[in-house]
Amino acid sequence: MLYDFYQEGEGTEKEVTELYKKAVRFIEKLELRKMLNQEEDHLAAIVAINAGAGGTESQDWAEMLMRMYLRWGERNNYKTKVLDVQEGDGAGIKSASIEFEGDNAYGYLKGENGVHRLVRLSPFDANHKRHTSFASVYAYPIVDEKITIEINPADLSWDTFRSSGPGGQNVNKVESAVRVRHAPSGIVVECQETRSQIQNREKALTMLKSQLYELELRKKREKIDAMESTKRKIEWGSQIRSYVFHPYKMVKDLRTGVETSNVQSVMDGEIDEFIKAYLIEFA
C-alpha cells in the first residue's frame, strides 16, 4: 500500500520512508504487548535503586540510573513520581524509589531487576583512574484494589524521621518521613513523598504490600524455573548489564547478548531494545 501511495505520486520518498518506519514501530509495540501475558504485567510499578559498595562512585552511578529510568518513563509517556531519595555523601544518591504509572509498566520494567555495572574514568579521582561501580535495581508491581494482601499490624514497626531532601522548613524540621519494617519478611520501606506523615504512612503501606506481592510472584517463578531445567534461571542479585564508558563505549546485556556502542542514548532512556530482548527470551 505504501508502494502504491508512492507510485501514484501522492507522497515523496521521504514521506513513504517515515510512514514505513512508523508502521514498523507500531507493529513492534503490538508484538511486545503480546508478550506481557502474566497477570501482574499490566500493573503500575515501583523501581528501587540502591548504590553498591564504593561510596561516592557508586552513589553517583545510582543517580545516573535514576535519571535513565526517569527519561525512559518520559519517552514512553508514563507518569513518574519520585517517592523517596536518600542523598549520597557529597554526590549522587544512596537509594531512590520511583513510581511509574501507566499501562504495563511492571511488565516492561520487570526485566531490569539485578545488578548494573559501570566502568569509567572516575570524575572523583584526582588521578583520573578507571573505576568500576555497581548499583542494584529492583522493580515490583503496585498492587491495585483487585489484589488483597493481608498484613498483620503486629508484624509492623514504624519510625519517623526528618526528610533528607531539599524543601521548606517543614520538610527539614518536622518528622514527616516514615519507615516501616515488616518482621516476617524483613522488608523495610521508607517514604518521604509528601509533607504529611499520614499520607506517607499510607504510601509506605502500599509499597510494602507491593513488595510482598512481588515476593510471592518471585517464589512462584522460582518453582517454575526449578521444574523447567532447560530454562535459564534469573536471580535478582545477579549482574545483568554492563555499561562501559572507557576504554571503549559499550552497553551490553549479559543475559540476552544485546549490545550498543551508543551509551549516551542508553543513559538518556533509550533502553527499549534491552527490554524487548529480555521479553522475547524470558517472557
**Tens digits of residue pLDDT in 62-107:** 999 999 999 999 999 999 999 999 999 889 999 999 999 999 999 9
Judgement on whether residues 51 and 9 belong to the same structural domain of the protein: no
pLDDT at 11: 55
Q: Are 152 and 66 in contact (CB under 8 A)?
A: no
**Burial of 260 per CB tally in 10 Å (0-12, 13-18, 19+):** middle
Q: Of the candidates 202, 59, 149, which has an alpha carbon nearest to the alpha carbon of residue 191? A: 202
Q: Tell me, yes or no, whether 18 and 67 share the same domain.
A: no
Indicate whether 56 and 11 sit together in one domain. no
Task: Looking at the structure, tell me whether residues 218 and 98 fall in a common domain.
Answer: yes
Is the same domain home to 65 and 128?
yes
Cell of 143: 498492587
- Give how many domains the chain has, as a whole number: 2
Question: Is residue 7 in some structural domain?
Answer: yes
Expressed as residue numbers, the domain containing 14 is: 2-27
pLDDT category, 165, cuts 50, 70, 90?
low
CA distance 265 to 22: 20
Task: State whether 125 and 201 are in the same domain.
Answer: yes
The CB density around residue 176, as the number of other CB atoms within 10 Å, is 24
Indicate yes or no: pTM above 0.75: no
